[in-house]
């Protein structure tokens, strides 16, 4: 009996099958319990169970391409890589509610600086994802002189045949559940649910390679198609056109600030007292139905959208994947009008590839971490705290030649929302039992105080009078993974309807003499470029802008999200869930009502992607000359 067991224990086939079963079980359980994949029916559950098998057999089977001497090491290396893919996605998903893509991996420099965020994301249970791998390594060590992955050719052939059959069945079932899955989906969760985590990464690799070829084959006629669409969407400017002509512009990117905190009280205390006063100021325009459009690029996406009126990409961040493109960003446009442009940010200049991308956008100056006095005492989490950041920025902005166009990027109100110094804590945490949500209000309160001091310092420095301030939230701070805690904060269940509403971020435009009021038009970050330019009295007739002036008389009330969701003044379309809501009654209605919104979102996002992937703006001058020539001939 013992001899039979030892023989089986040393068998390469037994080792291979045991490893496949372990990884299969681990992958299924991780997909089931670490990700919110929303299994809708029995068939989807069956697909979820099936998805890992084909890719596991195929990738682990690649070890048989190596010599017998190196085969076990190759096998364990492949097993480790697949385990790491699972582990990395599980950790990444906890905060971003998304899956890692190749363009995201190109942002590896960012991960080296995650610091406290990375530690917060990982937990003790993550060690369970490595128990099987450790067991296999120990197994291989014990049987070092006996374990040989030597299988007959027909057995290896059977392994690959089973892998192919499994993947074919998987794809067939997936297509039956979601027709045109590989060509029309905006939802990575749907791909993972129906194709599996490993096949998703194969698909992502193919799509990355495909998008890299777009630029080589792009033609100027494609830009003309985009211009025809964007020109048709433009609205007429109203009385605010030129209201801030010649003024300096100061944009403040408010990290992770969602609009629900405006006028929100926690234990009787205002979370954002300064911003609450600012929205009511007679010189402030407060946009109470304003949304972010960001995707995986988060803050860098918001910067890109605000400066270009183009959407971020469906995968990765434009800042890292397409920094070499030709753009027609606001800094470049205003540079031709005599403006000096600059960005202020107390973090490493290479984070999000900013040191490269800002040059492509036309910025004259970039004040980063090396330009500030950063010490352990005045830093937390990602870097320089907001109050010293703004204090140290005042002399730098005073030295800029006027008029100037500037952006300040805050840092302290960033996940995991921590404050180490007692003097920085100005409000007690919430009491939901979710540390992320509970701490969120404390760092929001700190940032609000930093904004207040910055505003006062700008006045004392003589920089307030001739400046228009644009305060905007860059992206959500609390992901859908925290909906249970957020339901306690909001006092209601967080359905897809409420989840979309929580994507509101504050937008306050303030300038001395500006006729202020609350603006209820539905808009988003994509609309900021034309709004700012029109306030400055700058026309851009031939530019490609998917947004419309938020102050235009006849603008359409609409906000399109990167995942294909849409919000208007009448409806809320949840793209991932394919659910349509009546905005007034907050009730679900027939999906067909939102079909035109869905089609518009898909059209607009695909055209914007075409601009970025094809680097179409390099043809802008060429097309502009052609248009001028046609006008002259008429």
**Which residues are catalytic, by number?**
299
Q: For residue 119, what are its two tokens?
A: 């530690």
Q: Kindly give the pairing relationship between strand 467-473 and strand 248-254.
A: parallel
Phi-psi region of 445 (alpha: psi -120 to 50; beta: other; left: phi over 0): alpha
For 290, the token pair is 């304003």
DSSP annotation string for 341-404:
EEEEESS-TTGGGHHHHHHHHT-SEEE-GGGS---STTEETTEE-HHHHHHHHHHHHHTSPSSE
Instruction: Return d(Cα 304, Cα 284) in angstroms, integer.
Output: 24
Q: Are 583 and 572 contacting, i.e. CB atoms less than 8 angstroms apart?
A: yes
Contacts of 358 (CB under 8 A, 6+ apart): 343, 366
Task: Give the contacts of 472 (CB within 8 A, at least 6 positions apart).
Answer: 251, 252, 253, 254, 290, 302, 306, 505, 506, 507, 508, 525, 528
Q: Are 519 and 508 in contact (CB under 8 A)?
A: no
The total number of residues shown for the chain amounts to 634
H/E element holding 76?
helix 68-96
Residue 312 Cα distances to 293, 322, 416, angstroms: 8, 11, 24
How much of the chain is in helix, strand and coil states, percent to nearest 5? 55, 10, 35
The owner of tokens 């100027």 is: 220
Closest C-alpha among 275, 243, 245, 248 to residue 513: 243
């Amino acid at each position: 009996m013992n001899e039979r067991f030892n023989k089986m224990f040393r068998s390469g086939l037994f080792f291979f099958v045991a490893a496949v079963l372990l990884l299969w079980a681990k992958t299924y359980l991780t997909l089931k319990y670490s990700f919110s994949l929303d299994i809708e029916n029995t068939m989807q559950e069956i697909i979820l169970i099936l998805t890992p098998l084909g890719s596991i057999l195929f990738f682990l089977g690649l070890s048989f391409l190596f010599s017998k001497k190196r085969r076990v090491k190759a096998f364990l290396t492949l097993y480790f890589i697949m385990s790491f893919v699972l582990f990395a996605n599980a950790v990444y998903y906890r905060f971003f509610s998304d899956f890692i893509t190749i363009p995201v991996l190109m942002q590896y420099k960012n991960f080296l600086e995650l610091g406290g965020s990375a530690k917060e994301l990982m937990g003790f249970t993550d060690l369970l994802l490595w128990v099987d791998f450790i067991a296999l390594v120990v197994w291989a060590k014990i049987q070092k002189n006996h374990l040989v992955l030597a299988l007959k050719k027909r057995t290896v052939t059977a392994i690959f045949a089973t892998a192919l059959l499994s993947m074919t069945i998987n794809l067939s079932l997936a297509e039956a559940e979601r027709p045109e899955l590989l060509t029309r989906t905006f939802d990575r969760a749907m791909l993972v649910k129906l194709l599996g985590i490993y096949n998703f990464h194969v698909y992502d690799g193919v799509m990355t390679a495909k998008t890299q070829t777009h630029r080589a084959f792009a033609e100027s006629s494609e830009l003309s198609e985009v211009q025809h669409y964007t020109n048709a969407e433009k609205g007429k400017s109203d009385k605010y056109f030129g209201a801030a002509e010649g003024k300096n512009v100061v944009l403040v990117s408010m990290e992770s600030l969602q609009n629900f905190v405006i006028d929100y009280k926690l234990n009787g205390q205002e979370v954002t007292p300064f911003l609450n006063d600012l929205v009511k100021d007679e010189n402030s325009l407060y946009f109470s139905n304003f949304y972010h459009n960001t995707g995986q690029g988060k803050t860098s996406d918001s910067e890109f959208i605000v400066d270009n009126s183009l959407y971020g990409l469906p995968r990765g961040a434009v800042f890292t994947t397409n920094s070499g493109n030709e753009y027609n960003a606001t800094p470049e446009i205003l540079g031709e009008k005599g403006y000096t442009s600059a960005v202020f940010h107390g973090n490493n200049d290479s984070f999000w590839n900013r040191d490269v991308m800002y040059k492509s956008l036309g910025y004259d100056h970039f004040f980063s971490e090396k330009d500030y006095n950063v010490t352990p005492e005045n830093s937390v989490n990602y870097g320089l705290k907001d109050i010293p950041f703004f204090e140290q920025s005042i002399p730098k902005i005073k030295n800029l030649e006027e008029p100037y166009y500037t952006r300040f990027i805050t840092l302290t109100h960033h996940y995991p929302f921590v404050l180490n110094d007692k003097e920085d804590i100005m409000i007690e945490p919430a009491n939901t039992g979710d540390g992320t949500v509970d701490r969120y209000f404390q760092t929001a309160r700190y940032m609000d105080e930093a904004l207040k001091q910055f505003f006062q310092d700008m006045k004392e420095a003589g920089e307030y009078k001739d400046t228009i301030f644009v305060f905007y939230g860059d992206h959500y701070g609390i992901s859908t993974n925290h909906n249970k805690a957020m339901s306690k904060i909001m006092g209601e269940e967080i359905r897809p309807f409420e989840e979309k509403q929580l994507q509101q971020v504050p937008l306050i435009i303030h300038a001395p003499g500006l006729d202020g009021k609350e603006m209820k038009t539905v808009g988003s970050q994509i609309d900021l470029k034309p709004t700012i330019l029109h306030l400055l009295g700058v026309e851009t007739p031939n530019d490609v802008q998917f947004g419309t002036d938020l102050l235009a008389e006849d603008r359409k009330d609409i906000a399109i999200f990167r995942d294909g969701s849409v919000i208007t003044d009448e409806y809320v379309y949840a793209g991932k869930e394919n659910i349509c809501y009546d905005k007034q009654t907050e009730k679900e209605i027939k999906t067909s009502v939102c079909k035109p919104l869905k089609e518009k979102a898909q059209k607009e996002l695909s055209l914007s992607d075409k601009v970025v992937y094809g680097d179409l703006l390099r043809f802008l001058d060429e097309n502009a000359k052609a248009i001028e020539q046609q006008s002259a001939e008429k």
